[in-house]
Amino acid sequence: MEQITQEMVSLARKAVEADKWEDFFDAFDFKIHGDIKDCREKELEAIRKWVLWSYNYSEPRKFIREIWGEGHFADHIYEKFIQYNANMNRFYAELDNENKRKLAEYVLNNYNPG
C-alpha cells in the first residue's frame, strides 16, 4: 500500500471535524484504487468474457497448445481437461495459481465475443 500522504491525513482530520467519514473513505479509496466504476466495468467485462468463452470455446487441444505449448505438460493439461468432462469451471478450479493466471490472461487477451 502507498505511504499515507499529508493529503490523506488532512482529509481524515476534516472528516473527523465535520463527521463526514463517508467522504473520507471515498476520497481515500479513490486515492489508492483509482476510479472504482472503471474497475468494476473491467471486472464485469472479464466475467462476461469468461462465461461466454466457457460455453463457446472450440478445439481444446488448440487453446491448450496456445497457452502451454507443445509437449508432455500440454498433454497432461489436456488429459486433465478431458478427465473433468470438459467442464471449464472445474478445469480452471483445479489449476494452480500460475496456470489459472495463464488461462485467464489467454481468455481476456484472445476472446472477443463481439
Predicted confidence (pLDDT) per residue in 19-78, tens digit = 555 555 555 555 555 555 666 777 888 888 888 888 888 889 999 999 999 999 999 999
**For residue 2, what is the DSSP state?**
P
Distance from C-alpha of 39 to C-alpha of 89, rounded to nearest angstrom: 23
Which residues, other chains included, contact 104 with Cβ-Cβ below 8 Å and sequence gap of 6+? Answer: 46, 50, 92
Highest mean pLDDT among 5-9, 43-47, 77-81, 108-112: 77-81
* Predicted confidence (pLDDT) at residue 13 exceeds the cutoff of 90: no
3-class secondary-structure state, position 99? helix
Distance from C-alpha of 6 to C-alpha of 9, rounded to nearest angstrom: 5
Q: pTM for the complete prediction?
A: 0.63
* Predicted confidence (pLDDT) at residue 1 exceeds the cutoff of 50: no
